Amino acid sequence: MISYELSPHQSQVKAIVHWFAENEIRPIAMISDKQKRVPDEWLNKVNSMGITLSTSSFGDDEGRNAAKKEAKGERQGNRLGVIASEEMGWGDPAIALTLPGPGLGGPPVQHSGTPEQKKRFLSIFSRDEEPRWGAYALTEPDAGSDVSGLQTTAVKTDGGYILNGQKIFITNGGRASWVVVFATVDRSIGRAGHRAFVVEKGTPGFSCSRLADKMGLRASETAELVFEDCFVPVENLLGGEEYYENLSSGPSGFRVAMKTFDSTRPIIAAMATGIARGAYEYTLDIINKEFPKHGRSYQTACAILAKLNQNITASRLLTWEAAWKADMGLPNAKEAAMCKAYSGKIALEATSKCLELLGPAGMEDTIVEKMYRDAKIFDIFEGTNQIQQLIIARHLYEPHGVRV
Amino acid sequence: MVSFKPTDEEAAFVKMAKDFALHEIRPAARESEENKKVDHAIIKKANELGFTLLELPESWGGLELPLISQVQITEALAMGDLGVVQGLGGAGDAASFIRMDPDNSLLADYKISLASGTETAAAFLNCEEDGKHKVTIEASGGEYLLNGRSAPVKMAEKAECLLISGVDSAGEDVLLWIGHIQQHSGLRKKTGGDYRLGLLSSHFASYEFENVKLNQASVFAMGEAARSLKDNAISRIIVLEAAKEVGLMNAALSYTAEYTSQRKAFGQEIAKFQGVSFNVAQMAIAASAARNLVWHAAMKIDQQEADAIGFSMGTLNNAHEAVRFVTDSAVQLLGGHGYVQEHPVEKWMRDAQAQVNVFMSESELLARSGDYLLSGTKGGIQDDILRTVTASKPS
Ligand SMILES: Cc1cc2nc3c(=O)[nH]c(=O)nc-3n(C[C@H](O)[C@H](O)[C@H](O)COP(=O)(O)OP(=O)(O)OC[C@H]3O[C@@H](n4cnc5c(N)ncnc54)[C@H](O)[C@@H]3O)c2cc1C
């Protein structure tokens, strides 16, 4: 049955996360952007409250046979994930991405790690200890959209691999306790040569060389990582060596990298929707309070806000649909790409239009100004808008036997 | 005869502007943004080369160029960096009012100070912009009482003089000139505001008016005379602002074309993907269309064509939309590299949005332009609405 009603559990999650976003995140949003970091005391506090950013609960093992109903009923991890993420994005996306936890590094470990690896890497996140982070390092100076071109090498040696190369734009890369690093064991065989390693902080030869200054998302750490003759033990090869040997046709590290996107893209899309909604709600409130309820500027505001309301709702529904499919165990790559492509665009559109409505006053110390700067990244990371379009088009043309 | 060939003089001036833009303005852009001001050496050189004098009348030591020449030069300058160009100071937007009424005795002091080479900056507060500045002008017995707070105004932090355009409580148009801000105890600037969006070297600040009394000695113009002055001067300002946006678009376009011709992915230059090249083509179309409209609007104003004012508003609407599209595309086509500060495109996208925020909203411009089409040169119903909005008390 078609329904847009949240279940009691979903409503509860939404309400709790919204409360947190409004009362804990928003008050530090502007200052964190200014200082280009989330205050440590705050991170310690939320960690001890047990709040983490986990993007992997929705792509967990059960996902593989999720069509099976869980004992308690229908699987809903993906839907819960996007519902929560929208509220987080509404609060502040940079702070949301800085919440302690495995972050974007979680899904590959969940999807491809051995039981031992899952335990070893995912159990370190605890409210009783200092805050910790995981990270996901795929991008390189010369390999972004085209992951197959990655240059970081992994050379087999006694008991492990030696990594050499550089990664850029890695969220939480500097503070992470471990980073899932993609490298190639043989450049000549392309994607089949890719492997994913979990590199732990403090490993000799692994360092964070600098942090990037950005248009927005300033409170989130964007790190450049360097690997110089960095030895990684074989136990840290994600999935273990058998994982790659058993199946001659693949899976490769490339698959590991790509697979996680189907569950992370709706999460990212939901955050973008949250940004758009945050800007919209702020502006709606100001217009209600400060504009006369007649005249042309009022009419203009009405038209713009109505359009944004439609766009935001469409964005949310596309995202929910992608998450719902994942919960049902249905393929959702096309839907995940669609919601990501749509939400990235409308988040920028919404923040820009809200700034227009606010006029010059909107430039000075308003959350909308920050949201505009934050919004743009949602059209770039986790696959650019163009790449999402490519994925969508591929799915559309596949039945016609054409690969675009 | 239809022609798109600039005069030799224009071409020479444009070349000089472009050199200055690319070799002096562009390299100083990041530093200006960080310091929140334009380096004095650049301001000095811009003055020497005449770039801050294009609009001022000759009797003021200005170049008094036709608008069609100015838009070409301004466009070339803004190719360097819009934030720097907006922070050069001088008479700024007030120059267009001075141009319309150069012999106004009210401005005698300012004329002397500009002619003596001091870089006294003037700011322009347009209270008529969709009621976005919450400042009221109350008329009583030949005097004006100003109250309320403005939104951020370009150059306000630096400017000693302030030109105010508004409609008073009786619905009369009025233009007020304050030669020395510090002489009015009720008039304060709120400086050091928290600005992060863009145009950070343009000295934004807001004004607070607390029972600021201005007598006849501060009236630049009133009534019908003020209306016509405003219409004419503001349409000039609008076209010059649109020209700056064209310059910014050209900067973003050429940077992106070059980057995408070199960046490789999937084994080839990304320019070879139509998803990239078509987008760059669209940027070029938007920039060229905007430039043509700006030049055309400038010519209409120079030739005092009847539809010049309404047309110019439509032109700025188009430029606003285009500059947002073009700068956003530039960031997009550089991918993650577009979002970080190693490349200038992220700044250009922020500057573009700040520019759109400051210089009248897109929708408002379009609607006003339409008013002129439907109701003739008077601007029709718009005036009534503006009056109700600006005459209402600040909230
Ligand atoms: C703040 C931030 C955080 C990030 N966090 C992470 C992280 O945690 N981990 C990580 O691994 N990466 C991260 N990234 C990197 C991000 O995912 C990449 O920047 C992104 O995938 C794009 O890659 P690129 O920058 O190399 O752009 P490029 O691949 O060089 O793309 C440039 C342009 O070409 C277009 N293009 C490329 N190929 C095609 C094609 N075939 N058809 C049409 N158009 C095409 C792109 O869409 C884009 O517009 C982050 C980036 C930023 C800025």
C-beta atoms of B349 and A376 within 8 A: yes
pLDDT reading at B312 higher than 50: yes
Minimal-distance CA residue to ligand 1 atom 19: B336
Predicted confidence at residue A192, as pLDDT, reads 87
Q: Where residue A58 falls among pLDDT bands split at 50, 70, 90?
A: very low
Mutation choice for ligand 1 from A33, A98, A139, A224, CB with most ligand atoms inside 8 A: A139
pLDDT tens for residues A255-296?
766 777 888 899 999 999 999 999 999 999 999 998 888 888
pLDDT reading at B379 higher than 60: no
Range with the lowest mean pLDDT among A333-342, B119-128, B158-167, B328-337? Answer: B119-128
Q: Which of B168, B190, B222 is the last residue of a domain?
A: B222
Q: How far is the CA of B260 from the centre of ligand 1 (A)?
A: 13
Predicted confidence at residue B291, as pLDDT, reads 98
* B232-251 mean pLDDT: 98
Chain A residues whose beta carbon lies within 8 Å of the beta carbon of residue B385: 295-297
Q: How far is the CA of B340 from the centre of ligand 1 (A)?
A: 12
Predicted confidence at residue B386, as pLDDT, reads 45
CA pair distance B323, A134, nearest whole angstrom: 39
Among A369, A381, A387, pick the best mutation site for testing chain B contact (most B Cβ within 10 A). Answer: A369
Q: Report the CATH number that the domain containing residue B87 is assigned in CATH.
A: 1.10.540.10
Helix (H, G, I), strand (E, B) or coil at B285: helix
Chain A residues whose beta carbon lies within 8 Å of the beta carbon of residue B336: 139, 144, 168-169, 380-381
Predicted confidence at residue A251, as pLDDT, reads 59
Same domain, yes or no: B196 and B252: no
* B294-B298-B301-B303 Cα dihedral, nearest 10 degrees: -130
pLDDT tens for residues A152-182?
999 999 999 999 999 999 999 999 999 999 9
Q: Report the CATH number that the domain containing residue B240 is assigned in CATH.
A: 1.20.140.10
pLDDT tens for residues A38-49?
999 999 999 999
Q: A254-400 is classed in which CATH architecture?
A: Up-down Bundle (1.20)
Residue of A nearest to B267 (CA): A149
Q: How far is the CA of A382 from the centre of ligand 1 (A)?
A: 8
Range with the lowest mean pLDDT among A105-109, A215-219, A232-236, B66-70? Answer: A105-109
Chain B residues whose beta carbon lies within 8 Å of the beta carbon of residue A337: none
Q: Report the CATH number that the domain containing residue B165 is assigned in CATH.
A: 2.40.110.10
* B332-342 mean pLDDT: 98
What does the mean pLDDT of chain A come to?
91
Minimal-distance CA residue to ligand 1 atom 26: A144
Q: How far is the CA of B112 from the centre of ligand 1 (A)?
A: 55
A259 contacts: CB under 8 Å, gap ≥ 6: A107, A108, A111, A112
Q: Which of B222, B254, B270 is the last residue of a domain?
A: B222
Q: Where residue B82 falls among pLDDT bands split at 50, 70, 90?
A: very high
Judge whether A309 and A280 are in contact, CB under 8 Å.
yes
Q: Where residue B389 falls among pLDDT bands split at 50, 70, 90?
A: very low
Residue A380, ligand 1, Cβ within 6 A? yes
- Nearest-CA distance from A208 to chain B in Å? 17
Predicted confidence at residue A367, as pLDDT, reads 97
* A191-202 mean pLDDT: 94
Q: Which of B276, B340, B367 shows the shortest C-beta gap to A214?
A: B340
- Nearest-CA distance from A48 to chain B in Å? 32
- Nearest-CA distance from A303 to chain B in Å? 10
pLDDT reading at A313 higher than 60: yes
Q: A8-122 falls under which CATH superfamily?
A: Acyl-CoA dehydrogenase/oxidase, N-terminal domain (1.10.540.10)
DSSP lists the bridge partners of residue A197 as A181, A237
CATH 1.20.140.10 residue ranges of chain A are 254-400
Same domain, yes or no: B351 and B257: yes
Residue of A nearest to B320 (CA): A356
C-beta atoms of A385 and B331 within 8 A: no
Judge whether B159 and B214 are in contact, CB under 8 Å.
no
C-beta atoms of A357 and B340 within 8 A: no
| Domain that includes residue B375, residue range | 225-387
Known active-site residue A41: no
Q: A134-252 is classed in which CATH architecture?
A: Beta Barrel (2.40)
Residue A387, ligand 1, Cβ within 6 A? yes
Q: Which of B176, B194, B222 is the last residue of a domain?
A: B222
Q: Where residue B388 falls among pLDDT bands split at 50, 70, 90?
A: very low
Length reported for chain A: 404
* Residue A169 forms contact with B (CB below 8 Å): yes
Same domain, yes or no: B281 and B324: yes
Predicted confidence at residue B147, as pLDDT, reads 97
- Nearest-CA distance from A375 to chain B in Å? 11
Predicted confidence at residue A252, as pLDDT, reads 65
Same domain, yes or no: B229 and B289: yes
CATH 2.40.110.10 residue ranges of chain A are 134-252
Residue B335, ligand 1, Cβ within 6 A? yes
Same domain, yes or no: B337 and B277: yes
Whole-complex ipTM = 0.94
Residue of B nearest to A223 (CA): B340
Predicted confidence at residue B128, as pLDDT, reads 83
pLDDT tens for residues B12-45?
999 999 999 999 999 999 999 999 999 999 999 9
Judge whether A335 and A390 are in contact, CB under 8 Å.
no
Answer yes or no: is B2 within a domain: no
C-beta atoms of B131 and A296 within 8 A: no
Same domain, yes or no: B231 and B374: yes
Residue A377, ligand 1, Cβ within 6 A? yes
Chain A residues whose beta carbon lies within 8 Å of the beta carbon of residue B324: 352
Residue of A nearest to B278 (CA): A386
Q: What percent of chain B has pLDDT over 90?
A: 89
pLDDT tens for residues A124-153?
999 999 999 999 999 999 999 998 889 999
pLDDT reading at A247 higher than 90: no
What does the mean pLDDT of chain B come to?
93
* Residue A293 forms contact with B (CB below 8 Å): no
Predicted confidence at residue A291, as pLDDT, reads 84
Among A151, A191, A215, pick the best mutation site for testing chain B contact (most B Cβ within 10 A). Answer: A215
Among A169, A364, A377, pick the best mutation site for testing chain B contact (most B Cβ within 10 A). Answer: A364
Answer yes or no: is B246 within a domain: yes
Minimal-distance CA residue to ligand 1 atom 24: A144
Predicted confidence at residue B116, as pLDDT, reads 80
* A51-73 mean pLDDT: 50
Q: Which amino acid is at B61?
A: G
C-beta atoms of A362 and B357 within 8 A: yes
Q: Which of A145, A296, A363 shows the shortest C-beta gap to B354?
A: A363
Same domain, yes or no: B257 and B281: yes
Q: Which of A145, A359, A370 shows the shortest C-beta gap to B130?
A: A359
Q: Where residue B360 falls among pLDDT bands split at 50, 70, 90?
A: confident
C-beta atoms surrounding A138 within 10 Å: 25
Q: Where residue A63 falls among pLDDT bands split at 50, 70, 90?
A: very low
- Nearest-CA distance from A216 to chain B in Å? 8
C-beta atoms of B385 and A142 within 8 A: no
Q: How far is CA B389 from the centre of its chain?
A: 23
C-beta atoms of A168 and B276 within 8 A: no
C-beta atoms of A145 and B335 within 8 A: yes
Predicted confidence at residue B132, as pLDDT, reads 83
Q: Which of residues 149-168 of A touch B (CB under 8 A)?
A: 149, 168
Query: What secondary structure, in 3-state letters, does B85-118 show?
Result: HHCCCCCCCHHHHHHHCCCCHHHHHHHHHHHCCC
